[in-house]
Structure 1
């Protein structure tokens, strides 16, 4: 979640590092803020300070870049999220409630534009499963983390509790994006608390 921006050219953030990394960071910023379909290759290469040929050499196409951005964003976010949960000293039930405190921290960031995966699925052709499959992979890894905690809280049926909490998590993310109200995390936390009784 570190800030990698150092300058802007006509209002477009520019990034440090190797060309591939700059393209990933620039595309991530622009896709999250403006949407995938609204962001052209010209804007991405301008923000990255590279040529179009560099983008195509590194990723093959804009679609290849989209997939790489999602994989990069997913990995970075899951690592941050897991670190936040693991650092919290509490019982499994308390850690599950802390999930919503962590979401609230994320919602308060200036760079919060919702979940890149939910946004990408929303923008893409619903008959095209590539983005959906990447999203399911991300969700599966994330839900495994939640299940590691629900197994201790509801040992007879941890999967159901995991999916119930996942619905609250996804709902909070979308509500925070739409309303710009970070307290939706508190309401989702209260709902989760009732599930854990």
Structure 2
């Protein structure tokens, strides 16, 4: 059986080797997202990172603590890229809301789409793992806050309701894309987003 491709490059072509703790985090993030948390053992992470167990446990303490660090970084990075993509649609809040599905499309077609890291983590663990659910909820709250701000700026009567509708839409689209791998999901999601935004516009006009 051939060996799997390393999850990350440990050294840039023209840069220094990253620190052991950074390599551990980068490799764990790539493997947890691509291959799954339970399918990825500590020994594999350390082998690909070229790091020791002493370094891992001194810095992170446990696999759960490493997962917490991975989810923190993954969530921060995902939201940064997602919000930046909305910003690229221009200053108008409705244009940014309508950029939601194209932003998902960019992610889906970018070659590293493995679904939502938070939904994947919750699904792989016992449902009473409160800390995981709290991290996922915090990720959702940050997205809801952005959508609510955009709805408020657009003058919608119920921006918080709009935000919840859009969050439910993108969660469903991400799950459907993960299961089916079918890009037509994005067309359906886009039409649903238009219906949500247009309904909010009609309510505003009343």
TM over 0.5: yes
CA distance in 1, matches of 2:28, 2:70: 7
SS class of match (2:40): coil
Query: Highest Rg: 1 or 2?
Result: 2
Q: Is the 8 A contact 1:101 1:186 kept in 2?
A: no
Once the two structures are superposed, residues 100-156 of structure 1 have per-residue CA deviations (whole angstroms, 9 ceiling, x without a partner) of 101000011221100100100111110110110111111111211111111134532
Report the counterpart of residue 77 of structure 2 in structure 1. Answer: 76
Structure 2 gap segments, 5+ residues each: 12-17, 199-206
Equivalences for residues 6-155 of structure 1 within 5 A: 11-13=5-7, 14-16=9-11, 17-89=18-90, 91-153=92-154, 155=156
- TM-score between both structures, scaled by the size of structure 2: 0.87
CA distance in 1, matches of 2:10, 2:194: 41
CA distance in 2, matches of 1:56, 1:120: 21
Q: Is the 8 A contact 2:147 2:162 kept in 1?
A: no
Q: Is the 8 A contact 2:94 2:150 kept in 1?
A: yes
Between stretches 15-24 and 55-64, larger displacement belongs to 15-24
CA distance in 2, matches of 1:82, 1:95: 9
CA distance in 2, matches of 1:186, 1:90: 24
Structure 1 gap segments, 5+ residues each: 1-8
SS class of match (2:157): coil
CA distance in 2, matches of 1:194, 1:89: 21
- TM-score between both structures, scaled by the size of structure 1: 0.91
Q: Is the 8 A contact 2:151 2:159 kept in 1?
A: yes
Runs of 4+ in 1 over 4 A off after TM superposition: none
Q: Is the 8 A contact 1:92 1:152 kept in 2?
A: yes
Report the counterpart of residue 176 of structure 2 in structure 1. Answer: 175
SS class of match (1:196): helix
Q: Is the 8 A contact 1:104 1:183 kept in 2?
A: no
SS class of match (1:60): coil
RMSD (Å), alpha carbons: 1.5
